Amino acid sequence: MSNDSVRRAVHTALASTAAIVAAQSQVAVAQDSAADGLEEVIVTGTRIRRVDAETASPVLTVDRDAIANSGATSLGDLLQSLPAIAGAATNPSVNNGGGTGESNIELRGLGAERTLVLLNGRRLGFNDYITRAIDVNAIPVNMIERVDVLKEGAGAIYGSDAVAGVVNFITRKPENGAEVGLDYGVSSEDDGERQAISLSLGAVGDRGSLLLGLNWNKQDSISAADRDFSRNALYLYGSVFEGGSSRAPTGRIFFDAGSALATQFGCGSVTRVAGAAGSTTADYRCFVTSGANADFYNYQLENLILTPQERGNVFALGEYQINDNVTAFAEFMYNRTTSGFKIAELPFDARSDRVVIPANNVFNPFGIDFGGQPDQTGGVLNPNLLVRLKALGNRRNDNSTNVSQVNLGLKGPIGDSSWQWDVYAGYGRQERSTETDGYLFKPSVAAAFGPNFVNGQGVVTCGTPTAPIAECTPVNIFNLDAPGQAAALSTITASYNQNQVSTTKLAQANANGTLFSLPAGDVQLAIGANYAEYFTFFNTDANTQALPPLFNSCQLSGETCSADASGEYDVSELYAEVFVPVLKDAPGAYALNLSAGIRYSDYSTFGDTTNATFKVEYRPIADLLVRASYSEVFRAPQVIDLFRGPTATASQFNDPCVGLTSAALAATPNLALVCQNVAPDTGFSQPNSQIDGLFLGNPNLDPETGDVLTWGLVYEPSALRGLSMSVDIWKYSLEDVITALDVNFIADQCLATGNAAFCGLINRFPDGTILQIQQPTFNLGSLETDGVDVNVTYRLSTESIGDFRFAINATKINSYETVGAPGAPAQDIVGTYDRQFGNYAELRGGANVGWSMGPFEAMLSARYIDGIRLTDPDGAPGIQPDLQIPSLTYMDLMLGYTWKENTKIQIGVDNLTDKQPPILYQNNVLNANTDVETYDTVGRYMWAKIVHKFN
């Protein structure tokens, strides 16, 4: 190895900055104290052992100092702020649709299921059933030495799921001694308190080593009512107003157009006058749908913008040298997380919930039947009745998630050669049990809301005088504020339980070493084989088993209905990778290296697939690296994609039929296909923006396939030591994308193409309101995205004023074009927030300035998210102008002091300037009027930590 190569490798290791936006480099090269020269290591993105600090693969490294200086107590908080992240990966700020405490990583905005997560280069086996991804919060922060983020596809190297890239968590090496850490944080609003304790113990002997880690942290919730941006449900329907749900505590009661009641009130829906008994029609007035006095219910006051979570981790790893040629190794990790959501009280919808409130209910002052639902062969469609069941209390759940991973293996050299081998077996498991409260038991509801009469003692009794219903307490659905109604409602409440188990069994054998030597160096080969079995089981209790034919009905509210699901599949794989040094120290070629890899995968579900990769590293001079790579990638359909049972969901829907006119029908004939049963020129509107959707799996799915091309430059001028610059251009192309269709996409495609495959998924009531939109899973789409990553780091050392570290890291997305189905129009969502895909800001970046002098250190960091736009942002008829959402910059500050080299104290302020998230309006999002997957919902946050080492 040349002196220049050594200089570059060591220089890159020293230039690693202590922040998330630190140097984009390969693994820092480890010094081998037992031998001369540098130790070869296997870097993320290849299975070839290399000494080079930079290779053909663009890798961002977040080191241990960066993790500590961020103040993060979970890895999700740390990694979701990387500029290469986009889209809509879940995190603890997701309340409605979240509440598990989970955080996923979504590189390039390609979905968390297309980012492979590794631990020490090995697959983790606890993919979540719903998200299809690894919860990185389950990995203990205090056990991580660094995180390598491979920002290219790696199907030939790692197999399925390594589409957008790879996140590889590298654990600390055992050292003699112990380390204990304490952490405390609280927001400037005096909420969201967090606490954390960590402990690690290490021992190193002549033949073995052991590292044990313990970690506990707790995060309190934050209510949406305690922040200005989330306190009210803000809507954009022609104008901005404080709105909410039609399912208000005083109810919303509909009448048929032209009926006597509609004529009597002069409107199509009424609500009970606050404080009135509701026993006569005089106690009701028209439901106000606009203006400051609108009757919509502000459910935001009951929601969370940060879900509570408590997490405990145990981690252990060890090695024992059996003899000179065989070393045994073991890794064990266990995590238990408890968390939960809290959302507004249950909305009751007499139609969707299939409950008839008859005219012969003594509480019914209107003399007509409400609710119920005709079957698919026809029947009477009664007017609807909506009400918010405040007396039930919030809908909330308690999630308990247990995650475990164990890897056992052997490794060693092959004689005196350069070859090394390893074999290991791994087992990963995720178990989650969920108990959810705040619902009604429908078999009891029908009687409690149904016919009733006043008996001889003057007591309202369920049923009729000739057929009374025993053990039934009648409920006055028209006035739940009346005395005794909360107690009556409690007699028909229910909770439900769901359980899921996901397991992965892995076995792998690898070998790598030198094949032969060329003038430019050694030709190296890595080969291996692996076998994996994946199993998932999902069970929901009898109360929530979805019933045919529409599967939107069960014993509880429609939003809870789902079906049991289970499935398993296995895969056998072979791989090979070769590295060929072509030129070295030649005119015009300081170095030229080629590498190639291939992987054959045989799945029990769809068959086999073969994927290859090819990479080039070229140094015209010592200071400049030109690199390029081409990779074929694939994602095998997972259990939820293949075997998911019909699952009800509450989907946010902008109905294109709102305000339908005859003129619009004439101009756009496909509107008739989208708007079946909608009468034109009647001012039609959906009563709520959330409608009943139905997810469906598909056992006949094929894998997603695609290719990834990257090329770029790395420049480290010897004339200016401490400076490193890199530019990498990337392009992804994916086909046969596995997608559970979005309800808005379905309507858009029906409108654009008239294709029955889309139009047939929309089911409406006879009055045109949405009954259900089915959301099946298909290999329909394709997508292409391309962009550029830029990284600049500089380290300056002075004797008088200390050492400085500067870093800039940015990602620009040039395009993100998705085609929902063959023949459908392409949609470029770069620079937009999209309900289905998430946030695709064109530019994201980070910068920091770090300083250290003696025991003191400080760091100021900035995170930038470019402005975005909302396309067709409101529910008004036609396509509306884009709504521009401004850019946003977060600033973080950290100050530290090391006392006697063993005790480090740090204090920090995240979101120093207390930036509030931009308003995207509730009709465009599901939580808190904003994009909670991207923007900070907490505000200014202060934290302090202390770490002490015992030698």
pLDDT, one tens digit per residue, over 278-289 is: 999 999 999 998
Residue with tokens 């959906």: 686
Q: What CA–CA distance (Å, rounded) separates 376 from 368?
A: 23
pLDDT of 243 reads: 86
Q: Are 153 and 631 in contact (CB under 8 A)?
A: yes
Q: Looking at 212-226, 598-612, 775-789, which range is the least confident one?
A: 775-789
Q: Are 193 and 939 in contact (CB under 8 A)?
A: no
Q: Are 492 and 439 in contact (CB under 8 A)?
A: no
User: Is pLDDT of 261 > 80?
Assistant: yes
pLDDT, one tens digit per residue, over 857-904 is: 999 999 999 999 998 888 666 678 899 999 999 999 999 999 988 999
Mean pLDDT within 658-673: 92
Q: What CA–CA distance (Å, rounded) separates 688 from 686?
A: 5
Q: Return the structure tokens found at 183.
A: 């952490």
Mean pLDDT within 198-219: 96
Mean pLDDT within 137-158: 94
User: Is pLDDT of 27 > 50?
Assistant: no
The one-letter code for the residue type at 311 is R
User: Is pLDDT of 13 > 50?
Assistant: no
**Do strands 165-171 and 115-119 pair parallel, antiparallel, or not at all (unpaired)?**
parallel
Distance of CA 21 to the CA centre of its chain: 22
Q: Are 866 and 841 in contact (CB under 8 A)?
A: yes
User: Is pLDDT of 376 > 50?
Assistant: no
- Of 618, 626, 612, 614, which is closest to residue 581 (Cα–Cα)? 618
Q: What CA–CA distance (Å, rounded) separates 362 from 940?
A: 54
Q: What CA–CA distance (Å, rounded) separates 546 from 116?
A: 33
- Of 350, 232, 351, which is closest to residue 294 (Cα–Cα)? 232
pLDDT of 6 reads: 33
Three-state DSSP at 675 gives coil
Please, which residues have CB within 8 angstroms of residue 502's CB and are 6 or more apart in sequence?
A: 126, 127, 128, 129, 429, 430, 534, 535, 536, 537, 639
Q: What CA–CA distance (Å, rounded) separates 868 from 866?
A: 6
CA dist list (Å): 56 to 61, 73, 161, 625, 825: 15, 33, 21, 9, 36
The one-letter code for the residue type at 63 is D
pLDDT of 54 reads: 75
pLDDT of 141 reads: 92
pLDDT, one tens digit per residue, over 822-833 is: 777 888 999 999
Q: Looking at 185-189, 531-535, 631-635, 653-657, which range is the least confident one?
A: 653-657
By CB atoms closer than 10 A (0-12, 13-18, 19+), residue 199 is middle
Mean pLDDT within 599-610: 97
Mean pLDDT within 66-93: 91
Q: Are 495 and 436 in contact (CB under 8 A)?
A: yes
The one-letter code for the residue type at 180 is V
Q: What CA–CA distance (Å, rounded) separates 528 from 577?
A: 9
User: Is pLDDT of 110 > 60?
Assistant: yes
pLDDT of 279 reads: 95
User: Is pLDDT of 87 > 80?
Assistant: yes
User: Is pLDDT of 176 > 50?
Assistant: yes
Q: Are 426 and 125 in contact (CB under 8 A)?
A: yes
- Of 587, 497, 602, which is closest to residue 544 (Cα–Cα)? 497
- Of 578, 765, 562, which is closest to residue 648 (Cα–Cα)? 562
pLDDT of 866 reads: 98
For residue 575, what are the β-bridge partners? 528, 599
Q: What CA–CA distance (Å, rounded) separates 824 from 827?
A: 9
pLDDT of 811 reads: 98
Q: Three-state SS across 763-799?
A: EECCCCCEEEEEEEEEEEEEEEEEEEEEEEEEEEEEC
Q: What CA–CA distance (Å, rounded) separates 61 from 74?
A: 17
- Assign residue 582 a region (left: φ > 0; alpha: ψ between -120 and 50; beta: otherwise): alpha
Higher pLDDT: 778 or 385? It is 385
Question: Residue 388 half-sphere exposure, CB side, CA atoms within 13 Å?
Answer: 22
User: Is pLDDT of 24 > 70?
Assistant: no
Start-to-end CA span in the chain (Å): 36
Give the long-range contacts of residues 754-758, CB within 8 A, separation 24 or more: 754/669, 754/670, 754/673, 755/821, 755/823, 757/821, 758/821
User: Is pLDDT of 716 > 60?
Assistant: yes
pLDDT, one tens digit per residue, over 518-561 is: 999 999 999 999 999 999 999 999 999 988 888 878 899 878 88
User: Is this prediction's pTM over 0.85?
Assistant: yes
Mean pLDDT within 911-935: 94
User: Is pLDDT of 469 > 60?
Assistant: yes
- In 76-89, which positions are buried (b, 16+ CB within 10 angstroms) versus exposed (e)? bbbbbbbbbbbbbb
Q: Are 147 and 167 in contact (CB under 8 A)?
A: yes
pLDDT of 42 reads: 61
Q: Helix, strand, coil % (nearest 5) of the chain?
A: 10, 50, 40
CB atoms within 10 A of CB 443: 11
pLDDT of 529 reads: 98
Q: What are phi and psi of 714, to 5 degrees?
A: -125, 125
**Do strands 59-63 and 144-150 pair parallel, antiparallel, or not at all (unpaired)?**
antiparallel
User: Is pLDDT of 18 > 50?
Assistant: no
Three-state DSSP at 942 gives strand
Higher pLDDT: 354 or 807? It is 807
What confidence tier does 34 reach under pLDDT thresholds 50, 70, 90?
Answer: very low
User: Is pLDDT of 25 > 80?
Assistant: no
Longest dimension (CA), the chain: 109
pLDDT, one tens digit per residue, over 329-338 is: 999 999 999 9
Q: Return the structure tokens found at 430.
A: 């995720």
Which of 377-391, 584-598, 649-663, 863-877 is predicted most confidently?
584-598
Q: Return the structure tokens found at 759.
A: 């139009």
For residue 789, what are the β-bridge partners? 728, 811
DSSP of 64-78 = HHHHHHHT-SSHHHH
Q: Are 886 and 916 in contact (CB under 8 A)?
A: no
Mean pLDDT within 388-397: 93
pLDDT, one tens digit per residue, over 342-368 is: 999 999 999 888 899 999 999 999 999
- What is the chain's length? 951
Q: Mean of the per-residue pLDDT values for the chain?
A: 90
CB atoms within 10 A of CB 293: 6
Mean pLDDT within 152-167: 96
By CB atoms closer than 10 A (0-12, 13-18, 19+), residue 499 is middle
Q: What CA–CA distance (Å, rounded) separates 30 from 206?
A: 20
pLDDT of 838 reads: 93
Quote the Cα angle for 623-628-632, to 5°: 155
